C-alpha cells in the first residue's frame, strides 16, 4: 500500500461509534477538569499523537477553522488526512481558529494570541490542543467548577510561561481559551474556569 493510500484510508475503525465514544469522554474530561481519560485510537498520523487526532476527528469539520503550529503546518500528509477525514479548513491566523494544535513547546505562541471570544459570545474562542511529554512529573492542583474540593494531576513538558499565561487570562472570564492536554491516547481538559497551581516540580 502506498503512503498516499495510507494517508487517505486511516481513521477510526468504527467511525460513528468511535466518535460518539470520544465525544463523551471529552465532555467527561471538560466537566471534571484534571481527570485523565482514554480515547479511542485512530490510525497513526505523522507528528500528532492518538488523542490529538481523535479529538480533531471528533470535534472538527468543514465549519471549524484549525490552526497548526510551525512543526505541523507544512506537513502534506497531515493536511491530506485532515482534509479527507474532517474537511477542516487550516488557517494561518491564530485568532480565526476555533481549534489549534501545539506540538512543539519551544516555538509555542502565547495563549492570548488565540481568539478569546467576547463577553457576549465566549464560545467564539479557540480550543487549544497541547501535546505534552507525559502525564507524570510536575504535580498540579486543580480547583473550580466540576471539582468538589480539589483534584491533583501530573504533567510534564510545559514550561512555567504556559501556566503564567493561562493564569493571566482568568480575570477575563467569560473570555479565555479552553485547553486539552494530550499524551498518547489520553487527554486531560483544563477549561477556562479551572484554577491550576503547581504543587511540586520534579528535580
Whether the upstream peptide bond of residue 174 has omega within 30° of 0, thus cis, is: yes
- At 93 the pLDDT is 95
Q: Which fold has domain 3-200?
A: Rossmann fold (3.40.50)
Going by C-alpha positions, the residue among 114, 26, 29 that lies closest to residue 69 is: 114
- At 5 the pLDDT is 43
Going by C-alpha positions, the residue among 144, 138, 140 that lies closest to residue 178 is: 144
- At 8 the pLDDT is 54
How far apart, in whole angstroms, are the C-alpha atoms of residue 141 and residue 44? 32
Domain residue spans of the chain: 3-200
- At 68 the pLDDT is 97
- At 201 the pLDDT is 63
How far apart, in whole angstroms, are the C-alpha atoms of residue 157 and residue 134? 7
Q: How does pLDDT run across 93-147, given as a tens digit for each residue?
A: 999 999 999 998 888 999 999 999 999 999 999 999 999 999 999 999 999 999 9
pTM (2 decimals)?
A: 0.93
**pLDDT beneath 70, residues of the chain:** 1-9, 201-203
- At 6 the pLDDT is 46
Amino acid at each position: 500500500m502506498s503512503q498516499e493510500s495510507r494517508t487517505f484510508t486511516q481513521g477510526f475503525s468504527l467511525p460513528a461509534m468511535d466518535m460518539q465514544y470520544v465525544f463523551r469522554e471529552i465532555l467527561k474530561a471538560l466537566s471534571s477538569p484534571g481527570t485523565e481519560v482514554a480515547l479511542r485510537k485512530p490510525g497513526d498520523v505523522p507528528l500528532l499523537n492518538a488523542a490529538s487526532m481523535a479529538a480533531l476527528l471528533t470535534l472538527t469539520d468543514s465549519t471549524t477553522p484549525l490552526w497548526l503550529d510551525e512543526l505541523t503546518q507544512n506537513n502534506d500528509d497531515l493536511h491530506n488526512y485532515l482534509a479527507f477525514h474532517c474537511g477542516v479548513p487550516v488557517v494561518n491566523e491564530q485568532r480565526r481558529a476555533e481549534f489549534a494544535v501545539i506540538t512543539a513547546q519551544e516555538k509555542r505562541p502565547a495563549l492570548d494570541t488565540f481568539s478569546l471570544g467576547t463577553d457576549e459570545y465566549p464560545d467564539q474562542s479557540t480550543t487549544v490542543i497541547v501535546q505534552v511529554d507525559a502525564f507524570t512529573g510536575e504535580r498540579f492542583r486543580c480547583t473550580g467548577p466540576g471539582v468538589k474540593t480539589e483534584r491533583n494531576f501530573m504533567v510534564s513538558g510545559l514550561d512555567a510561561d504556559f501556566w503564567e499565561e493561562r493564569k493571566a487570562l482568568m480575570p477575563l472570564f467569560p473570555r479565555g481559551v479552553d485547553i486539552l492536554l494530550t499524551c498518547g491516547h489520553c487527554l486531560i481538559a483544563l477549561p477556562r474556569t479551572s484554577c491550576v497551581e503547581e504543587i511540586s516540580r520534579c528535580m
